[in-house]
Structure 1
Amino acid sequence: MRHFVISLVSISLLAISASSASAACYADYKAKKENPLRLHYGVVEVNAQPCQMSGAVSRAVAQRVAAGGWELLQVQSVFDETGLEAKKRDAGEFYLRF
């Protein structure tokens, strides 16, 4: 019985760590285009583990928005899916666009 409990606990811990490692991560940002000047706020999914602000996240967002002709001004925050729905309305057409 003891081996069964230990096995069950081990499997549970592995499942929890696997689900947290694959959790989605998002960044919200501000970008611009020149001639004429246009600004936008957007949300993009990023591959960041742990899900936190880093130079790699900023570079990834800059590269992705640049593909659409935009220049990244600032990555405002990095967050998991719990903060995603609250930012959807503000991002409008730039919600998960890039």
Structure 2
Amino acid sequence: MKRNIIILATATVMTLANAATAQAACFAEYKAKRDNPLELFYDVAQISGPCTKANARAQLQQMLARQGLTLLKVLSVKNN
């Protein structure tokens, strides 16, 4: 019985560790611009959801539009 509890506890800890790894932060590196006068920006932002360029593009376009910026390009996405 004691052995079963140890095995169950170990499996639980490993499952929680895998879940924490799956929740790793995702960062997108991008270029943006503002017109009149022209200003160019390079920055890195944390995004939620899948760590893909398509997801980053969708989130960044909304976030940057609120700041009066236009997304030019998502350069890369990386999990941390």
Shared fold (TM-score, shorter chain, > 0.5): yes
Question: Which residue number corresponds to residue 56 of structure 1?
Answer: 55
RMSD: 1.5
* Structure 1 unpaired stretches of 5+: 82-98
In 1, Cα distance between equivalents of 2:46 and 2:75: 13
- Matched to 1:59, the amino acid is A
In 2, Cα distance between equivalents of 1:73 and 1:47: 20
Aligned residues of 2:27 and 2:47 also touching (Cα < 8 A): yes
Question: Which residue number corresponds to residue 44 of structure 2?
Answer: 43
Q: CA deviation at 1:21?
A: 2.6
Higher helix share: 1
Give runs of ≥4 in structure 1 deviating > 4 Å. none
In 2, Cα distance between equivalents of 1:79 and 1:21: 13
In 1, Cα distance between equivalents of 2:35 and 2:53: 27
* Structure 2 unpaired stretches of 5+: none
> Percent identity at matched positions?
34
- Matched to 2:55, the amino acid is A
In 1, Cα distance between equivalents of 2:18 and 2:60: 26
Equivalenced residues, count: 79
In 2, Cα distance between equivalents of 1:23 and 1:67: 26
| Secondary structure of the structure 2 residue equivalent to 1:17 | helix
| Secondary structure of the structure 1 residue equivalent to 2:30 | strand
Highest CA radius of gyration, 1 or 2? Answer: 2
- Matched to 1:73, the amino acid is L
| Secondary structure of the structure 2 residue equivalent to 1:79 | strand
Q: CA deviation at 1:25?
A: 1.1
Match runs of 1:1-98 below 5 Å: 1-49=2-50, 51=51, 53-81=52-80
- Matched to 1:18, the amino acid is A
In 2, Cα distance between equivalents of 1:54 and 1:41: 16
